[in-house]
Amino acid sequence: MLIEIDSERIQSEIDQLAKISEASPPVVTRVLFSKADLQARAYVRARCSNLDLTLREDAVGNIFAHWQGQDPDLPAVATGSHIDAIPNAGKYDGVVGVLGALEAIRGLKRSGFKPRRSIELVIFTAEEPTRFGIGCLGSRMLTGALAPEQALQLTDSAGKRLSDWLGEVYPQSGDLQSVRLVPNFYSAFFELHIEQGPLLERQRIDLGVVEQIAAPATLRLEFIGEGGHAGAVLMPDRHDALLAGAEIALAVESAAKESQSPDTVGTTGVFRIEPGAVNSVPYRALLEIDLRDTRLSTRDFALQRIRENVLAVTQRRGVQAHLDVINQDPPAVCDAALVQAALQAAVRVGLSARCMVSRAYHDSLFMAQTCPTTMLFIPCRNGVSHRPDEYASPEAIGKGTLVLAQLLEQLAS
Ligand code: GLV
Ligand code: MN
Ligand code: MN
In contact, 398 and 174? CB cutoff 8 Å: no
Whether the pLDDT of residue 1 is over 80: the answer is no
Atom 1 of ligand 1: nearest residue by CA position: 361
Cα 386 to ligand 2 centroid, rounded to whole Å: 6
Whether the pLDDT of residue 346 is over 90: the answer is yes
Atom 2 of ligand 1: nearest residue by CA position: 128
Q: How far apart are CA 398 and CA 180, in angstroms?
A: 33
pLDDT of amino acid 173: 75
Cα 61 to ligand 2 centroid, rounded to whole Å: 18
At CA 360, angle to CA 20 and CA 208, rounded to 5?
Answer: 95
Which class for 39: exposed (0-12), middle (13-18), buried (19 or more C-beta within 10 A)? middle
- Pocket around ligand 1 at a 6 A CB cut-off: 128, 135, 360-361
Which class for 202: exposed (0-12), middle (13-18), buried (19 or more C-beta within 10 A)? exposed
Q: How far apart are CA 227 and CA 239, in angstroms?
A: 8
Determine which helix (DSSP H) or strand (DSSP E) holds 377, and give its type and residue range. Answer: strand 373-378
pLDDT of amino acid 174: 82
The neighbourhood of ligand 2, an ion, using CB within 5 A, equals 93
Cα 387 to ligand 3 centroid, rounded to whole Å: 12
What are all long-range contacts of 168-174, with beta carbons under 8 Å and residues at least 24 apart? 169/33, 169/38, 169/61, 170/57, 170/59, 170/61, 173/57, 173/58, 173/59, 173/60, 173/61, 174/58, 174/59
> Could you give the percent of the chain with pLDDT greater than 90?
96
- The CA-atom distances, in angstroms, between 388 and each of 90, 93, 198, 245, 336 are 4, 11, 17, 29, 34
Over the stretch 230-270, which tens digit does the pLDDT of each residue have? 999 999 999 999 999 999 999 999 999 999 899 999 999 99
Give the torsion sign (CA, 199, 355, 28, 103). positive
Over the stretch 353-378, which tens digit does the pLDDT of each residue have? 999 999 999 999 999 999 999 999 99
The closest-lying atom of ligand 1 relative to the alpha carbon of residue 94 is 2
pLDDT of amino acid 219: 96
Return the ligand number nearest the Cα of 97.
Answer: 3
Over the stretch 158-189, which tens digit does the pLDDT of each residue have? 999 999 999 999 887 789 999 999 989 999 99
In contact, 33 and 92? CB cutoff 8 Å: no
In contact, 246 and 308? CB cutoff 8 Å: no
Other residues' Cβ atoms within 10 Å of the Cβ of residue 304: 11
pLDDT of amino acid 171: 80
Segment 96-124 mean pLDDT: 98
Whether the pLDDT of residue 349 is over 90: the answer is yes
What DSSP letter does each residue of 299-343 carry, written as one string? HHHHHHHHHHHHHHHHHHHT-EEEEEEEEEPPPEE--HHHHHHHH
- Provide the pLDDT confidence category of residue 276 given band limits of 50, 70 and 90: very high
- Provide the pLDDT confidence category of residue 157 given band limits of 50, 70 and 90: confident
pLDDT of amino acid 12: 98
In contact, 250 and 243? CB cutoff 8 Å: no
Segment 87-104 mean pLDDT: 98
Cα-Cα end-to-end distance for the chain:
12
